[in-house]
Every structure is written in structure tokens, then in C-alpha cells.
Amino acid sequence: MIKTKGSARARGTVAARLSRWMSALVLAGFAGSLLAEGIEIESLSSRLHKGVYLVDAQILYQPSKTILDALEHGVPLTFEVKLDVRRKDAWMWERAVARHRLRYSLRYHALVSRYEVFLPDKKVLRYATLEAALRALGGLSDLSLVESASLESDEEYELHLGIELDIESLPVPLRPRAYLSSDWSLSYEHRPWLLIR
């Protein structure tokens, strides 16, 4: 076979393209792992202060592109954070010692390019970037969990934490699609966490 400069150049071009494509594929996979959709707990801790157990947590919200697109088009997102204190090894039908249901909302105003975070205490925080807004949305600080006097001294207790996007809070026309699409499934169920006493 006769090798020409043209054929060598062509092979070099193909090899270069293949190399770039493979590099892009690897980087895309790496980026996908960093930008995984869902909800994670970055930190979670409790402490006793003046007879009351307080909880601090940082929740990481990573919505899907579908959810983010809806947000950018003016659809408000509401998340419910559920915190239950239960006796360790309690039966399923046993009532929780303490139950909290907290609602946080996130909205985007295109006219002013601002994100608004609505906290359970009705306080509203405003941010210029989505990253900052999601960070604030996931921040729990000094949350009163349960009074120590309501806990038996000879028992151990666990904190159960659950988080989910409230589909019922979405605009009515959007709900059927949200219920049927995995793109709208955004929830988290934390394994029971022992309350340090």
C-alpha cells in the first residue's frame, strides 16, 4: 500500500476528532456525576440548649432541568421538610414524640432577575443567583426540635428527616404531568439519626 501525505493527514484529523470526542465524553460523564439530580444532606447536627434540642442542617437541592425550566418560567416550587422524633426501635403505629412540617418556597422573577426564598416564618430572602437561592433554601438553623423534659431518661430517640417537592402546590394544569414524570420526582428520606443526649 502506498502511503501519501494526504492519507496521513486525514488519519491525523480523524484521530484528533476521535480524541476530542472521547475527552468530551469523559468530561460530560464527570460533569453529570457532579450535577446529579436529587436531594442530599450536606450536614446535620443537634444540640441541647436551655432544655430544648435544636437542629442545624444544610440540605443540597439539585433539581432536574425540567424543574429548573419551570422555575425560570415563573412556576413557584414548594418543598416540605418533615422532621419526626421517635423512640428508637418504636413500633410503626407508635406516635412520634415530636413532629414538624416546614414549608419552603422558591420563586424566580424574570423582570428583575431575582430569586426569592420564602421561609416557614414568612421571611423572604432575595438572591441574584440560583446557586445562592438553593443554598438558602436548604439551610436549617436553630430549629427547635423537642424539649428534653418530654423524653424518657432511659430511652434512646431518633430523628427521622424527609424532604419532598410538593406537587400539589404546582399550578393545576402542571400537576398531572408532574405526577407521571420522573423529572418531577424530587424527594429524600434520611435514615434514622440517633439524637445525641
Q: Is the pLDDT confidence value at 37 over 60?
A: yes
Q: What is the pLDDT of residue 66?
A: 96
Of the two residues 54 and 30, the one the predictor is more confident about is 54
Q: What is the pLDDT of residue 33?
A: 34
The full 3-state SS of the chain, as one line of letters, equals CCCCHHHHHHHHHHHHHHHHHHHHHHHHHHHHHHCCCEEEEEEEEEEEECCEEEEEEEEEEECCHHHHHHHHCCCCEEEEEEEEEEECCCCCCCCCCEEEEEEEEEEEECCCCEEEEECCCCCEEEECCHHHHHHHHCEEEEEEEEEHHHCCCCCCEEEEEEEEECHHHCCHHHHHHHHHCHHHCCEEECCCEECCC
pLDDT digits (tens, 9 = 90+) for 185-194: 999 987 788 8
pLDDT bracket for residue 3 (50, 70, 90)? very low
Q: What is the pLDDT of residue 91?
A: 80
Mean pLDDT of the chain: 83
Q: What is the pLDDT of residue 197?
A: 62
Section 168-172 average pLDDT: 96
pLDDT bracket for residue 196 (50, 70, 90)? low
Section 116-145 average pLDDT: 96
Q: What is the pLDDT of residue 140?
A: 94
What's this model's pTM, rounded to 2 decimal places?
0.76
